[in-house]
Structure 1
Amino acid sequence: MTDAEKKTSSPTGPASALPTAPSPAPALDEGLDARLVVERGSSFRLDVTLTAAPGDVVALLGPNGAGKTTALRALAGLVPLSDGGRMRLDGAELGRRPPESRPVGVVFQDYLLFPHLTALDNVAFGPRCHGARKAEAREQAAGWLERMGLATHAGSKPRRLSGGQAQRVALARALATRPRLLLLDEPLAALDARTRLDVRAQLRRHLADFEAVAVLVTHDPLDAMVLADRLVVIEDGRIVQEGTPSDIARRPRTDYIAHLVGLNLYRGEAEGHLVRIPDGPALTTADDLTGPVFVAFPPSAVTLHRGRPTGSSARNLWHCEVTGMEAHGDQIRASLAGDLALAVDLTTVAAAELDIHPGSEIWATVKASQTHAYPA
């Protein structure tokens, strides 16, 4: 994975189109080929198909309760597959194998390091379980800790490690068994913002060197877009969209994904440059299409006016009311309702000059050139 393949734009705006080649379809005798079917009574059914070639990093995204953690646990063998499910890894059927006999490494959200063991012995635990002698296992563990930049912490117990150090020990422990499938459950969720930035960069380097398949679950779009080659978005136990990070960011297909990547998203019927929104206004776009389409634009593309603007070149104009305001990085994000529901990003200076607050009436404009329409 190259640096160019990993980069996207800010989550608050659409990503630039990157020349990212799609991942090749895995051969039958290598990589992951799974259909994860899990039923929990009559209330929930997961049915997700995942394929990945060696070297691929796949991120599972989705709202709470979508089934992404269930999918990860099914891959690990911690949740049994229901009828119709299968899991093949490098050509071997693993669906009925117990977790301990699968060539799978797992990094749990809370790391689950053994508190009574040193970092060295935590990492050596995996090779020991696979039959390595104590001295051999500890030698392998020392090598992994050195690769993680933790050689000086080999004798430290987990309580003496920082969050970032504990995460790297857990990763080293998972990799020490040389798994053919690496699973990461919210690998950065337990870290503070400053540590997260450093550990994300380190984790990206380690995943780039990993020669087998890696699957991670995360709720953070930045983690997914920095770490993964391909995103798989799950809602209600089904895949609703998958593709490269740049594809997902530019062309979201559900409200959840649009919110995730920071875009306003609408579905309507296109007649040339005009898109009619059901129970809403028509939008003018730069794209010339016919039939069902999505229209997306970033909150930063919206310009606010206290009075109805005159002489504006913007083709889209809506009368709205401010329903909410919150800090969003170094800006303010305002939620609007009225002619059209939308999110708007503006600076604190602009908010003060407009004197807007919840309940304020406002006019919003968006230039057609700043919208993006694509087939639904």
Structure 2
Amino acid sequence: MTLQARLVVERPRFRLDLGLAVDAGEVVALLGPNGAGKTTALRALAGLVALTGGHIDLDGTPLHTLPTEDRPIGMVFQDYLLFPHLSALDNVAFGPRCHGASKSDARATAASWLRRVGLAEHSGSKPRRLSGGQAQRVALARALAAGPRLLLLDEPLAALDAHTRLQVRSELRRHLAEFDGATVLVTHDPLEAMVLADRLVVIESGTVVQQGTPAEVARRPRTDYVARLVGLNLHRGTADGRKVTVGDVLFNVAEDLRGPVFLAFSPAAVALYRSRPDGTPRNLWEATIEGIERHGDNVRIHLDGSIAVAADVTPAAVADLDLTPGQRIWAAVKATETHAYPA
């Protein structure tokens, strides 16, 4: 692994204790709710926050004993923090200059990076004359121009509008694929994490609660936060073969398990009925509609009862069933769309 770290940062009412390993060429995204410790971890790696304990080793060299300016790290901040009095070229040349390059060599390196990010014609522009997407690309070029071994990205697309974000995300993915060092990305956007990262590390209350590839995390969430992030209903239950009991509800599942399990299913897999449908009582329960809201092209129905779930239905179904808050309703989910895995 290029990066091997254990980050311990203690504050009066918060403790971060995070183990982190990132291989060369790998992009790891840190995800978690507000206050989980993501940005604290990133700033600790950069040397902007002092460690209470632990270590940071990069390519076998301890970084935690080095001052910030001596660490082979490039960082892109959420607001980019470009120097307003410098041109795009001199902003990018700043890193090489700090590492001892002559002015001419630093500018040549900067010009090369501006060409790579498609901004050669804007080399003389000050930050105030750049669009949000252009400023983001200058910030990325500045971070990479000094030849770092570790790249840190703090919400790198958050300041962009939706249209620009789509384009810049694609460009950023390409540049990260070409970077041979380790990359740590902090984001609140699950799509950004899924598209850009090779591996996700989910933090809650300063500790890791789940990690894996985007596909692994999306298929098998282990906390309510992760389930909401990937758009699944998640419950804890007890398995006995292909049956799982959650509260008063009995579910049939495809997996053959025993003991404590997680049960997950999509809101789109939940079917609603005004009266109790005929057939098996499994995967079926009565609930109360707590709320109704627009959700993309569909309508999300929040249900409470034996278990609380979200159901996604079409606007036509809302009209046909005459759904209203406070109404009693029957909910069911197919066994083939209900998945259980060990808790």
Choose from 278, 282, 304 the match for 1:310.
278
Would you say the 8 A contact 2:249–2:282 is kept in 1? no
- CA deviation string 1:218-247 (max 9, x = no partner): 111111111000100011111111100000
Aligned to 1:39: 10
Letter in 2 for 1:321: T
Distance 2:185 2:84 in 1: 25
What's the % identity of the aligned pairs?
Answer: 67
The alpha-carbon deviation at position 213 of structure 1 amounts to: 0.1
Equivalent-residue separation in structure 1 for 2:312 and 2:98 (angstroms): 53
CA deviation profile, 1:317-348 (whole Å, cap 9, x unmatched): 11111111222222221111012200111122
Q: 1:367 Cα deviation (Å)?
A: 0.8
Which AA in structure 1 matches 2:292?
Answer: M
Task: Tell me if 1:149 matches 2:149.
Answer: no
Partners of 1:33 and 1:51 within 8 A in 2: yes
1:197 partner amino acid: L
Equivalenced residue count is 343
1:238 corresponds to: 207
> Which position in structure 2 is the counterpart of 1:362?
329
Deviation at 1:273, TM superposition (A): 1.4
Q: 1:49 aligns with which of 19, 31, 40?
A: 19
Q: Which residue of structure 2 aligns with residue 285 of structure 1?
A: 253
Distance in structure 2 (CA, Å) of the matches to 1:353 and 1:113: 55
Once superposed, which parts of structure 1, at least 4 consecutive aligned residues long, lie more than 3 Å away?
none
Distance 1:181 1:349 in 2: 51
| Superposition map of 1:1-376 within 5 A | 26=1, 31-41=2-12, 43-83=13-53, 85-277=54-246, 279-311=247-279, 315-376=282-343
For 1:31-87, what per-residue CA distance to the aligned partner results, in whole angstroms no more than 9, with x for missing partners?
00100011012x11111111111101000001111111110010000011113x100
- Cα separation, 2, equivalents of 1:233 and 1:321: 32
- Supply the distance in 2 between the matched residues of 1:52 and 1:339 (Cα, whole angstroms): 42
- Give yes or no for contact 1:273–1:289 (8 Å, CA) kept in 2: yes
1:19 corresponds in structure 2 to: none
Unaligned ranges ≥5, structure 1:
1-25
- Contact residue 314 and residue 368 of structure 1 kept, 8 A: no
Q: How many angstroms apart in 1 are the aligned matches of 2:322 and 2:155?
A: 40
Write the distance in 1 (CA, Å) between the matches of 2:42 and 2:322. 48
SS of match in other structure, 1:144: helix
**CA positional deviation for 1:275:** 1.1
| Structure-2 residue corresponding to 1:12 | none
The whole-number CA distance in structure 2 between the counterparts of 1:160 and 1:149 is: 16
Structure 2 portions without partners, runs of 5+:
none
CA deviation after TM superposition for structure 1 residue 314, in Å: 8.0
Q: What SS is found at the alignment partner of 1:248?
A: helix
Tell me how far apart the structure 1 counterparts of residues 182 and 114 of structure 2 sit (CA, whole Å): 21
What amino acid sits opposite 1:347 in the alignment?
T
Counterpart code for 1:39: E
Q: Report the TM-score when normalising by structure 1.
A: 0.89
Go from structure 1 to structure 2 and tell me whether the alpha carbon gap of 1:341 and 1:241 turns closer, same or farther (over 3 Å shift).
same
Please report how far the alpha carbon of residue 349 of structure 1 lies from its aligned counterpart in structure 2 after TM superposition: 2.0
Kindly provide the amino acid, as one letter, of the partner of residue 290 in structure 1. Answer: R
Structure with more of its chain in strand, by fraction: 2
Deviation (angstroms), 1:353? 2.0
TM-score normalised by L of structure 2 = 0.97
SS at match of 2:299: strand
Contact 1:314 1:367 in 2 (8 A): no
Query: Aligned-pair RMSD on alpha carbons?
Result: 1.2
Deviations along 1:148-184, one digit per CA (max 9) or x if unpaired, are 0111111111111111111111000000011000000
Match of 1:200, SS state, is helix
